[in-house]
Chain A
Amino acid sequence: MVDDEPDMCWVMECILRSKGYEVVTVLSGEEACYQLANRDFFFVFMDAKLPDMDGLEVVRRAHAARPGIVRVVLVSGYHYHDDPVIRQAINENLICGFLAKPFTHSDLLNALPSS
């Protein structure tokens, strides 16, 4: 769970923990890159705009470091559903979904793969 806004991390942690997930939150792009390169994650919620880096750039680096492993949903208040940037990222298989802020809890949970 990558977001520079601590309250956003709080929200998502609360939702995901209540469903039994283990959550690691990081606040910057740099730290996210480090974690993604060194640990396996079932799933990543990635904020699109981080203070030091673009969320999509973090994803690109993660894919480059460990191809085909990370599944990412981009979470953002900056983009909208049919935003060309989002569409392109999905087409390039960089991300597997997009979640616009604000979202309902079921929106968030639905974004997770059922497996």
Chain B
Amino acid sequence: MSAKDMSPNRFELLYGMLLDAIPSSVLLVDEKLHIVSVNRNFLVKSQRGEAMTVGRPLAEVFPTIIMENTDIERRIREVFRTGTPVKGQRMTYRAPGVPIRIYYYSILPIPTNQVMLLMEDVTEQVRLSEEVRRVERHLASVVESASDIVLSTDTEGRILTWNSAAEKLSGLSTQEVRGQYFFQFCGSNQQQTLRKVFLLMKSGNESHTTEFPLVTSSGDSILVSWVFSPMKDDYGQTVGAVVVGRDLAERRKLENQLRQSQKLAALGVMAGGIAHEIRNPLAVCYSAAEFLLMDNISSEFRNECSRKIQAGIQKASAIIENLLRFARPSPDTEMVQVDLNTVIKDTLDLITNQARVQQIRIQLELEQRRPVLVLGVSGLLQQVFMNIFLNGINAMPDGGVLSITEEIFEAEVAVRISDTGMGIEESDLDKIFDPFHTTSPIGKGTGLGLSICYSIAQQHLGSIHVQSSPGKGATLTVRLPLL
């Protein structure tokens, strides 16, 4: 740089350029409270010319209302007197003809016996933060007004917020639950399920639906249907969870009625097979009894007749017991450890008769080495398989093969049920789980079976999928989390 470039003049120029470039208003004021200099930003914001501003008293440049409200003259004098700066005061300024602006200002003493008045325009920030507050208030009131339980947790499941519906249903205040683990307020046995759900949410985006009881402050259990959704930050990291719960008391009552009537409908379908299977032992008993009434029969034959009668009665009675077990409403819905293989075999026992009268061969491939343990209500799981088996059987009026294969994965079991029947039209595929959707003739099906299966599977944190093409049979896959 040349010597000329380094002259004091050059610094002044640089200083002026810098002042004009910064997005804040800068004013220098002397002891008489006259304006010594201003930067461009101030002139633009206040819509004043430099000549009308520099050398003028502060009171002439700022509107009276600001002078009075901010008491700025007293503050400046104070800074002159004490040499202590004033920082971060708020000022609302409205130049004639422009919308209101909001400033934060500071008054800084400078060695030239002047003070620097720094004004930063925060109108936009204030507007934004007010907007954020308004949205927050709105969201809070949405959550608070909801009649469903809405709560949020951290990634470990510790409760962060708890809305008024949650307070009302549980009888527990936000203060009582904040920071506590959510599972502490759920029915027993849920800890493991919940841990699994929270683990899944950490890595995945999906919501998880399940049902289990909420324990109230008085110790009662309320059955609640829960939806767990991961809460993500801007980078896609799970930072917590949103849990929405709905009191199921009323819905459960209706569902139970529906399941029960659907079960009875399923019994209707099985009636033919049952009749066949019970009348065979009855016929044997009937004849054997008639033999016993005859004279001159050998004692050996007499014994044989008695044995046939006993065996026949036992056979008929076992069929009836199976039926009763299935037809009876499930007394409770508490989830316990269940061996899925037992459920499947018990269910097959019920439909074997129907399969036989329709010339349907049943192929069963289950995990042999160990029990397949899931958390569930065995009566409900049986209903799922019963419905799917009967659907398969109904799809094969002229006989075929119903195959049931089980595949064990790390965390879940998949049971595939395939028939060799008529298959499902593609247009029907996404409707088959809808309530009242049926392709059966009137009186043959209620259209509720699979929708009930679906809701039962969901309740068990599982799923049901269907694969089919017309004429080539259908495969339904039931997936359930393993214990």
- Per-residue interface assignment for chain A, residues 60 to 82, with 1 indicating a CB less than 8 Å from any chain B CB and 0 otherwise: 00000000000000001110000
In the docked arrangement, what's the CA distance between A77 and B285, Å? 14
Interface 9-mer from B94-102, B198-206, B275-283: B275-283
- Is the CB–CB distance between A104 and B286 below 8 Å? yes
A103–chain B nearest beta-carbon distance, Å: 7
**Known contacts A52-B359, A53-B359, A102-B285, A8 near B308 by CB under 8 Å:** no
Q: Which of B272, B283, B286 lies at the interface centre, i.e. has the most chain A CB atoms within 10 A of its CB?
A: B283
- Residue in A closest to B305 when the chains form the complex, CB atoms: A14
Main secondary structure of the interface of B (DSSP, over half): helix
A7 part of interface (Cβ distance < 8 Å):
yes
- Per-residue interface assignment for chain B, residues 281 to 300, with 1 indicating a CB less than 8 Å from any chain A CB and 0 otherwise: 11111111011000000000
- Is the CB–CB distance between B287 and A105 below 8 Å? yes
Residues of B within 8 A of A53 (CB): 359
A7–chain B nearest beta-carbon distance, Å: 5
In the docked arrangement, what's the CA distance between A50 and B276, Å? 11
B311 part of interface (Cβ distance < 8 Å):
yes
- Is the CB–CB distance between B276 and A7 below 8 Å? no
B368–chain A nearest beta-carbon distance, Å: 25
- Is the CB–CB distance between B283 and A8 below 8 Å? yes
- Is the CB–CB distance between A105 and B359 below 8 Å? no
B317–chain A nearest beta-carbon distance, Å: 15
- Is the CB–CB distance between A102 and B311 below 8 Å? no
Total interface residues in chain A, CB < 8 Å: 22
* Residue from B272, B279, B287, B359 in contact with A54 in the complex, judged by beta carbons closer than 8 Å: B359
A92–chain B nearest beta-carbon distance, Å: 19
In the docked arrangement, what's the CA distance between A91 and B279, Å? 26
* Residue from A7, A76, A101 in contact with B308 in the complex, judged by beta carbons closer than 8 Å: A7
B2–chain A nearest beta-carbon distance, Å: 112
* Residue from B284, B291, B356, B359 in contact with A8 in the complex, judged by beta carbons closer than 8 Å: B284
B323–chain A nearest beta-carbon distance, Å: 16
In the docked arrangement, what's the CA distance between A73 and B284, Å? 18
Q: Can you identify 17 A-B contacts, CB atoms within 8 angstroms?
A: A5-B284, A7-B311, A8-B284, A10-B308, A11-B284, A49-B276, A52-B359, A54-B359, A76-B276, A77-B276, A77-B279, A78-B279, A101-B279, A102-B285, A103-B283, A103-B287, A105-B290
